[in-house]
Every structure is written in C-alpha cells, then in structure tokens.
C-alpha cells in the first residue's frame, strides 16, 4: 500500500508539473517567421541541406559521408533566434544536433557563443541536452547546464529559442524559460557582446556525445534527419567590425527588450523553477570542484544547492535519471573545434 501511495504521489507530482508547463507553453509568442532563403544559407554538406518547395522548412541530414548545417546570412547585435525543431528518431547515439549563435568565424580567439546542444539518444532513454554561454573567448570558463526534456523531441516539432540582449540571455523550450543569465558588471567581457550569427548543424560526435563515447553512431539507421520550420530572426543585422550601433539598431534593440519574450513574468519564473528542479541534472554554479567561488552571475539557491554534489551533478536519489555529457560543433571532420572537444 505504501509503495502504491508513493507511486501515485510521484505520478501526481509529474502531472502537476506538466500541467503548469503546458499552461505557460499554451501562451504562444507573437512571432514573425521568415523563409529559409530570406535569412539563411547552407554552411556545409550542401547536398544534405534539403529545403521544402515553399522554403518554409528545411531538413539537415547526417549520412556516412557528411553532416550538414546552415547559418544566418547576417550577423546580429543582439536578437531573438528561434525555430520549431524536430530531432532525429530511432537510434541516434553519437549524433549531435546544435542550434546556437556564434561569431567564431570572425573573432577566432575572442568569440562569443550561446548554445542549445542535443547529444543523441538510445531508444527508450530520456533525451538530454545542454545550454552554454561563452563571452570573449572564455571557453576555459564554460557555463554549462544540462537537462532532460519532459517530452520526446523526435515525435513532433517544439520551439527552441535564444534571446540575447544587452541586459540578459534567456533560453526557451516552447514558451517555457529554462535558463536566464542576467548581465552584471562582475561578468565583464564574459558576457557576449559582439555580433553573432545563428547556426544549426547535425554531425557525428561518436567519440564523446552519448555516454562519453560509449555508444557510437550506427549508420544502419542513416540518414539522421533534423527538421526546422517557422524560422525566426529578430534583431539588427550589423557589420561585425562596426564599433558603434546605428540609430536603427538602437531602435530595434529597444523593441527587442520590450517584447513579450524578453520578460520573465511571475508565471514563467514559476515554470522555470519547476523545470530546473525536476529536469536539471548538472549546473556549473554548483560545481565547486571546478569553481570553488561561483561565477558572478550564479544565483545560488541553498535549498537547490543541497541536491547537488561538489561535482555539480545531482546526488544519488535526488533525481530519477542519471547521465553524462560534453561539448560542441565542427564545420567539417577536420576542424580544430572538433579536435578540442
């Protein structure tokens, strides 16, 4: 009887969380979408970048010969970058799908970056993903957070969004904010400040992506396909070398900061807290082995901190899941970026 009550309690708790998240996600943002050709161009593996006839959808394929990716045609000084994405289905171990902003091609040693990374999956296991923030080449101070999703992202499209303003960064899954980084003087140049492009990629990361490289890409299941629709680029396109924003950028940035998605309302903050309590399984803010003094933007919550070990991972019994992870994207199989992962 006690076991039954415990099971029922867990089911009700999960149902309550899902209902609260659904309430937030049901309040969709008012977004203006664009076609692929209006804002993007293939990045690599051009033959594996497949556009729909109307240009409103694009598929990225990974086969045994190459992965693929696309990039925004412009760089943006702040913006809202968003897409409905459907991840590859079936056995996808070793397959990395990334949706992120970066300026690494322009500022190789001082680049900025904001990441969503999905690290493949073994059939029947919960999907894991990571967000990360880099500013001014601060790759030695990674700001990773790792989570599980509350749905199967290969079954249908879900919206993933990155808001980047001069004041804050917000990562969204559907309309649920899952992470906010508020800019502070103490962050200094670690806060991304230079114009960035939007990237989407799929590629083979067998050497590290799933369970630390234990499970490799199995090309028996190829091609692996990630799909994108309802693409959104809202912000001010700029010359990356430009030092002073134009008057139009000042106006567009003001519009960006006043948009609905730029505000974490009390309801959204509640949903974010519930998501993080239930689905976050690693945070650099609680990794005291790596950072004995938390980085300045960390909002350390004592009750939350008690759930994590000094490694930043959940203590045994604090969560029903276990997992492991790592880092991110090449343009081709010989890139330095991949070699550094």
Other Cβ atoms within 10 Å of 192 Cβ, number = 25
Active-site residue flag, 38: no
Q: Burial level of 107, CB count in 10 A (0-12/13-18/19+)?
A: middle
Cis peptide bond N-terminal to 255, omega within 30: no
Phi, psi of 81 (to 5 degrees): -120, 125
Interior CA angle at 83 toward 81 and 85, to 5°?
Answer: 140
Of 108, 113, 227, 304, the active-site residue reads: 113
Active-site residue flag, 117: yes
Confirm if 92 and 206 have CB atoms less than 8 A apart: no
Give me the residue label for tokens 């708790």: 13
Distance CA 228, CA 69 (A): 11
Q: Burial level of 239, CB count in 10 A (0-12/13-18/19+)?
A: exposed
Give me the residue label for tokens 């008012």: 30
Of 38, 108, 117, 297, the active-site residue reads: 117
Contacts of 21-26 with CB under 8 Å at 24 or more apart are 21/150, 21/176, 21/271, 21/274, 21/275, 23/267, 23/271, 24/174, 24/175, 24/176, 24/267, 24/268, 24/271, 25/174, 25/175, 25/176, 26/175
- Which residues have CB under 8 Å from 14's CB, separation 6+? 278
Token pair in block for residue 69 = 């990716």
Distance CA 107, CA 139 (A): 13
Confirm if 117 and 133 have CB atoms less than 8 A apart: no
Other Cβ atoms within 10 Å of 155 Cβ, number = 10
Active site amino acids: 113, 117
């Amino acid at each position: 009887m006690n076991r039954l009550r415990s099971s029922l309690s867990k089911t009700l708790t999960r149902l309550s969380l899902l209902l609260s998240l659904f309430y937030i996600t049901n309040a969709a943002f008012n977004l203006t979408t664009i076609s692929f050709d209006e804002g993007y161009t293939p990045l690599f593996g051009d033959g594996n970048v497949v556009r729909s006839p109307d240009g409103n959808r694009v598929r990225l394929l990974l086969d045994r010969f190459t992965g693929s990716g696309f990039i925004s045609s412009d760089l943006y000084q702040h913006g809202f970058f968003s897409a409905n994405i459907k991840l590859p289905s079936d056995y996808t171990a070793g397959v990395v799908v990334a949706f992120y902003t970066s300026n690494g091609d322009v500022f190789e040693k001082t680049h900025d970056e904001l990441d969503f990374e999905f690290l493949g999956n073994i059939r029947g296991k919960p999907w894991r993903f990571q967000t990360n923030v880099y500013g001014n080449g601060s790759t030695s101070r990674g700001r990773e957070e790792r989570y599980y999703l509350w749905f199967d992202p290969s079954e249908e499209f879900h919206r993933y969004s990155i808001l980047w303003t001069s004041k804050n960064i917000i990562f969204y899954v559907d309309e649920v904010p899952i992470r906010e980084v508020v800019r502070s003087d103490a962050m200094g140049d670690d806060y991304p400040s230079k114009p960035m492009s939007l990237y989407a990629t799929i590629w083979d990361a067998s050497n590290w992506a799933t369970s630390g490289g234990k499970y490799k890409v199995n090309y028996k299941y190829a091609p692996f396909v990630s799909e994108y629709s309802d693409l959104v680029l809202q912000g001010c396109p700029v010359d990356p070398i430009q030092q002073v924003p134009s008057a139009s950028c000042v106006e567009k940035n003001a519009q960006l900061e006043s948009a609905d998605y730029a505000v974490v309302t009390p309801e959204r903050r509640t949903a974010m807290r519930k998501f993080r309590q239930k689905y976050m399984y690693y945070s650099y803010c609680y990794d005291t082995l790596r950072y004995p003094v938390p980085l300045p933007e960390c909002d350390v919550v004592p009750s939350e901190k008690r759930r994590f070990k000094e490694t930043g991972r959940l203590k045994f019994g604090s969560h029903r899941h276990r997992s492991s992870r790592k880092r991110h994207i090449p343009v081709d199989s010989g890139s330095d970026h991949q070699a550094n992962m």
